[in-house]
Amino acid sequence: MQNILKSLLILTACLFLMAGLAFGNTPIPDDPFTQEYHEPYPVGTANGINDVRAIAVDKSDCVWAGTGAGVFTLEKGSRTWRAVMSEKDAGPIYDIIVDRSGTAWIAAWNGIYRSKGDNLERVKEINEPISALCECGDNIIGLGPDGQWHLANGAWEYQIMPYSKNIRNLLPDGKNGLWLATGMGLYHRTPSGTTLYQSEEELLSADITAVDYASDGSLWIGGLGGITVYKDGKRITQYTSEHGLPSVHVRAVKHALDGRMWIGTSLGVARFDGESWSVRFSRRWLIDNDVRDIAFDSKGNAWIATGSGVSAIKQKRMNLAQKAEHYLRVCMARHVRSPYLVEKCQLTVPGDTSSWKPRDDDNDGQYTSMYLAMESFRYAATKDPQAKENADKAFQAMKFLQTVTETEGFVARTVIPSSWTQMADPNRKMNPREWAEHHVRDPRYKHVEKRWRASRDGKWLWKGDTSSDEITGHMFGYLFYYDLAAGYLEREQVREHVCRIMNYIIGNGFVLKDIDGTATRWGVWSPEKLNDDPDWATERNINSVEILSYLKLAYHLTGNEFYQNHYLKLLNEHHYAQNVRRAKTTNPSWRTHIDDELLSLAYPCLLLHEDDPELKQLYRESLDHWFSIAEVDASPFFNFIYRACTGQDPQLTTSVWALRDASLDLVRWKIDNTLREDLQVVRVPELEEIQTNRLVPPSERFMGRWDQNNWKAIQGDGGHTESDGVWWLLPYWMGRYYNFISAPK
């Protein structure tokens, strides 16, 4: 009873400490922001039908798509395209415009068509290919390789052009003149004559594909090489891959309703808002990176013609709380599997979230524990009983990972139903030659033939060889569940469970002993290994932080001096105090983002629950050293961990921006930033991986757990799996609890 009262007093003090940190902050208001998201609209399956060359949106928000196989329309709110060209007329389309009256005009392989009701009417006078169209004053003008046609006063007139016949785009200048983008330069035709821009002093190159005016009246000229900008007849600037274009093969230039300039390239879309560039490419944003044309509907949604169909980059107003609801719905729908473990799911068809199946992972325990912490923060911030119920279930699943092993304290990596026939790392034997190969390459490698074992009741298979990562993740979840969400009876269970694991680790010499009687491959925190074995130098500092954090948690939960004595002995007699001072390694061959996440999970218990001023200062020094390296990742999770432990304000605005910028789509599409011309491939910050020379925004890279290197140039798995979203939900609800982010009004 005395221990329980002492624990409650410690808990109360802890909550007052955390509340004090929270009340000292000025939170970022959760104001609505514009959230973009992608919807693919393949036109069909027939040959050439998804080869979309031109796109336009009429006054009723009906989308017109011109493809290699004809013209198709998509009514507002529909997802089914309708062919509007007769079978005998169907063929390549080169341009579509909508005039002031709402009539759609189509430049086709055999002339010009116009919309009439739900059908098309062909202009009988024209029987030749038309490349581009525009509305100039009261005239409709069409140009092609054989000349120019224009409609004036109800009659079509033809004339031979004294220009390049390689016509790509037409743009009225608003003064009875016309800009002609051609493969041989840019023509400006006015009532007083024609000017040709063609030289290197005038344009980045003479191969021009598209032109449009920006909000400030400047003329943006796109083509091979990038964008040349003119204003008042003078060349004022240019934009290439050095400035933000993912490719200098520019195919489309369009001025959006919000004032941004959208640039379609051979590698997606780039947008410029007057200050900075943003890029939309990969299957997260586009059905195909080969962009040909762009149009906007009345709501500002962008409709994009690509080589594999039409993509819509849509937008809606939402706040972070609504975004959190979205991610949580996804998580609960597809990412919680029996006995309440939270992990990615496998998509049967890449990108198709309607067809999925659960899967296992080596770090199921750690990831579920981070979910446990998230729901604990959510409950503490909102008092939502569903959050507490979810946290309770997650804790019981974590507890089951230990009890299923029927040992004194060993914890399984994960469990799966015994009916599963596929799992990660199935049991297998290794012949002596294979063992020699592994042993020479990595002398610490531990061969485990039997990774999976059946539970006593035969219902489960559980996986051994559990890592230090798993235990670190578990303890992080137990800390915040105990402090923020667990009731009286659950706290008793947490105390018993943590003590069981810690007694097992301590009793076996600070290692996690597997069923075979030896330490698991990674579960080692012993002084003999960390301090004296040169092959454990990589883990010396971080594992020292981990074991001290576990011991501090056990002492925090129980007040039992047994754990405090071991804690102080490691610090003072085995030099762990020196080990933790620079826990984050900067050695290029050892540095990983896994360590960044593990340290972020281990620090809170030490910083929030250590009372000794000297030790608290030691941990603060260690935390500061870690964060001085980790802060370049602009991770909301790392930033909020640091702020929760120190009360300081690192990148709060940037963190909230990152949460807003993250994509709603959690499918793990492949994102290959090595293809982008605006980025360079480098070998930092982690030597072993190909990375980009700058950290691109969350919406332009794969966003996943914080043990992953967000600088990595090639990420994702081609849409074969979907993330559970906890990587976003955990920092968001931390921010809400600590009052870094306000609740929505």
Dist. CA 96–CA 85, nearest whole Å? 14
What is each CA distance from 724 to 58, 566, 665, in whole angstroms?
39, 37, 11
What is each CA distance from 162 to 145, 146, 509, in whole angstroms?
11, 11, 89
Q: What pLDDT shows up at residue 406?
A: 98
Neighbouring C-beta atoms of residue 499, cutoff 10 Å = 17
Q: What pLDDT shows up at residue 16?
A: 35
Q: What pLDDT shows up at residue 2?
A: 40
**Token pair listed for 402:** 């230990």
**What architecture is domain 2-32+322-737?**
Alpha/alpha barrel (1.50)
Dist. CA 513–CA 527, nearest whole Å? 16
Dist. CA 38–CA 663, nearest whole Å? 9
Dist. CA 732–CA 740, nearest whole Å? 9
Mean of all residue pLDDT scores within the chain: 95
E strands, 277-403, in order: 277-280, 291-296, 302-306, 309-318, 336-337, 341-342, 345-347, 356-358
Displacement of CA 277 from its chain's centroid (Å): 18
Q: What pLDDT shows up at residue 17?
A: 40
Q: Which residues of 703-716 are buried (b: 16+ CB within 10 A; e: fewer)?
A: bbbbbbbbbbbbbb
Q: What pLDDT shows up at residue 650?
A: 75
| Domain(s) of CATH 1.50.10: residues in the chain | 2-32+322-737
Nearest-10 Cα torsion for 557, 562, 566, 567: 30
Q: What pLDDT shows up at residue 25?
A: 61
The dihedral built from the CA positions of residue 661, 665, 668 and 673, taken in this order, carries a sign that is: negative
In 208-363, which ranges are continuous DSSP H helix? 320-334
- Which CATH code for domain 199-294? 2.110.10.10
Of all helices (H) and strands (E), which one includes residue 377?
Answer: helix 364-382
Displacement of CA 742 from its chain's centroid (Å): 23
Note the pLDDT tens digit of each residue in 493-513: 999 999 999 999 999 999 999
Cα within 13 Å of Cα(571), Cβ side: 20
Please state the pTM of the whole predicted model. 0.94
Q: Select from 505, 611, 488, 600 the least CA-distant residue to 559.
A: 611
| Domain(s) of CATH 2.110.10.10: residues in the chain | 199-294
Dist. CA 22–CA 45, nearest whole Å? 56
Q: What are the DSSP calls for 84-116, one per residue? A: -S-TTT---EEEEEE-TTS-EEEEETTEEEEEE
Q: In which residue ranges of the chain is pLDDT below 70?
A: 1-25
Q: What are the DSSP calls for 653-667, one per residue? A: HHHHHHHHHS-S--B
Q: Select from 265, 270, 339 the least CA-distant residue to 306.
A: 265
Q: Select from 242, 350, 244, 256 the least CA-distant residue to 304.
A: 256
Kindly tell me the burial class for residue 164, based on how many C-beta atoms sit within 10 Å of its own C-beta (0-12, 13-18, 19 or more): buried
